[in-house]
Every structure is written in structure tokens, then in C-alpha cells.
Amino acid sequence: MRHLLSPLDFSVQELEDLFDLAADIEKNPGKYAHACDGLKIATLFYEPSTRTRLSFEAAMMNLGGKALGFASADSSSAAKGESVADTIRVISCFADIAAIRHSKEGAALVASRFSSIPVINAGDGGHEHPTQTLLDMMTIRTLKGRLDHFTIGICGDLKFGRTVHSLVNAMSRYEGVHFVFISPPELRVPDYITEMLDEKGLSYEEKISLDEAISGLDLLYMTRVQRERFFNEEDYVRLKNFYVLTPKLMSMAKEDMYVLHPLPRVNEISVEIDKDPRAAYFRQVQYGVYVRMALILTLLGIDVDSL
């Protein structure tokens, strides 16, 4: 039985196959409309979410399946003190696949060890968010036509930004990718990420100023400074407006430098950018549904052509 805890759980070839499947789903949605008839996904969201939970549920419904679950720890038995290990054992009796989001790092790994159904990590604290990475990569592949030979700027909260950690891990397997990490010193990318890049001999640089970096980028991945990751409100207030992407900054960027963002956006991207054809963040959301449909089919071992 396979789980998805990190994007590295899939080989580069398996990811290609997944993106090809997602692209086919986009073109021929009717072909997949009954692929999961009679099956259920459990969405176990201990942390609030709009996009990710609804995207998983929409993905399963688009495949003919159903969704059940909870949307906060308060409305689950976690409020009574039930462990993740016990919850997933119980949920395994109700559903065929589970997506779990939790504020603690490693929660999805724990769930996978006690589960008898495939588990998808839908975000574990500041650690990983692999399905966001899959949809980020699908977006890049669709817009740029490739996943290699880029300079990618990643800007904002690189310390607690789980989407960042997963994206760097995944993109580090492609040739010619150069990372530019743009963050305040307090929110630098964790050492285990830079160690991994050093070990693989991959090139990266760290900068504080977005103004200085933007003209050299082929892609810009903006992230939000996340209030929920700070133990100290004062630090959050000091750092929350460190970066704001404005039309003036965009005028310094390449004409084909797409802007991605995992959303939700707070104020790190000015709303005026939404009209810029290089703003790709709402398109990412649509790709997210296709990628999650492809992922559900893959983890459940369903091949529509053989049905």
C-alpha cells in the first residue's frame, strides 16, 4: 500500500505519469466521472483549510466517490484527547483513502504507520505539503512546458513554509534548477534543506531584498508569513509585511516570469497583480483538483482504461 507523505515518495518518472494523468483528466473529465463509484475519501483536518480540504473532496466527487471527515480538531475526538494513531485506525474502517492535515510535524507519517488505507499528507505543521507541490509543479509544467533549467525565486516565510520545503525537495531532482531564497534573516530556509542542496551539489543563493533578485528570476513563488506558526505575536507583527509584490516590482521582472502562491494570500501580493497575465496563483487552484484526482486514482491503483 502506498502513501504520499513527501513529494519524494514518487520517483521523477512516477510524477511525470501523474502529471500526464492529471492533464488527461483536464481534457477528458467524463472518462473519469465514475472511476471511484462507491469509494470514500476521509478528510481529517485538524487545522483549518479552505482550498486543500475542498479540493480533495471535489476531486473525489469528480471521480464519482464521496467524502466524509472533519474540518477542525475541535469537531473531532482529538478534542477528547484521541491520538492520531487511534483516529486513523478507526477511519480506516469507514473510508478507502484519507487526507490528513495536522499542526504537528510528522502527524501524517504517524497516521501512515497505523493505517490500513492509503494516507495523503495534506500538510503537517511547518514540515511538508506534498499535494501543494504536485499542483505547483503541474502549474509550472503547463505554463513553462518543462520542469528543468529555471531560476526559481522563493520569497517570504521560508522557515515555517511547508510548501516551500516540499517544493525545493521535489524540484531539486531536476537538472539546471537554481534556487534564490528571499527571506528576512529570521525566516531563512531550514538548514536541512540547504544541507540537502549542498549534498547534491545544487546551486542556490540567499537574499534579503526582493527588489535585487526579481529581474533574474524565471519563476517567483511567493508565500505568506503565517501567524499560526509563531509562538510570539510580536515577531509576527514585525515580519508580516516584509515583502509586498507590487506592479512596480513586477515591471522589473521578466515578461514570462510567472508568479505562484500557495494561497491564502494576505497582503504579500498586491491585488493589482491579479490582472497581470503572469499571475498564476488562481490557475494553480484549478490544477490542484486535477492533480488530486490523479493522485487518488494512483494511490488506489485504479486504471480507468482497464475498468
Partner 1 sequence: MLNVGKIEEGIVLDHIEAGKAMLIYHYLKLDRTEYPVAIIKNARSEAMTRKDILKVECDPDSLNLDVIAFMAPSVTVNVIKGGEIVEKRQLHLPEEITGVLKCHNPRCITSIEQELPHIFYLSDHTRQIYRCRYCEERYTAGVLEKRYR
What residues are annotated to the active site? 51-52, 80, 101, 129
Q: Which stretch binds partner 1 (CB under 8 A): 106-114, 181-189, 235-243, 246-254?
A: 106-114
Among 11, 72, 83, 241, binds partner 1 (CB under 8 A): 83
Phi, psi dihedrals of residue 263, rounded to the nearest 5°: 60, 150
221 forms bridges with which residues in the sheet?
154, 260
104 is a site residue for partner 1 (CB under 8 A): yes
| Residue 294 C-beta: closest distance to partner 1, Å | 27
Residue type at position 218? D
Q: What's the CA gap between 89 and 172, in Å, rounded?
A: 34
Q: Is the peptide bond before 264 cis (omega within 30 degrees of 0)?
A: yes
228 is a site residue for partner 1 (CB under 8 A): no
* SS3 of residue 10 by DSSP: coil
Cell of 101: 492535515
- The residue length of the chain stands at 307
Q: Which is nearer to partner 1, 193 or 257 (CB)?
A: 193
Between 189 and 208, how does the x/- string for binding to partner 1 read (CB under 8 A)?
Answer: -xxx--x---x---------
For the segment 110-139, give every residue that binds partner 1 (CB under 8 A).
Answer: 110, 124-127
74 is a site residue for partner 1 (CB under 8 A): no
152 forms bridges with which residues in the sheet?
179, 219
102 is a site residue for partner 1 (CB under 8 A): yes
260 forms bridges with which residues in the sheet?
221
Residue type at position 245? L
105 is a site residue for partner 1 (CB under 8 A): yes
Binding site for partner 1 (CB under 8 A): 83-85, 102-107, 109-110, 124-127, 190-192, 195, 199, 231
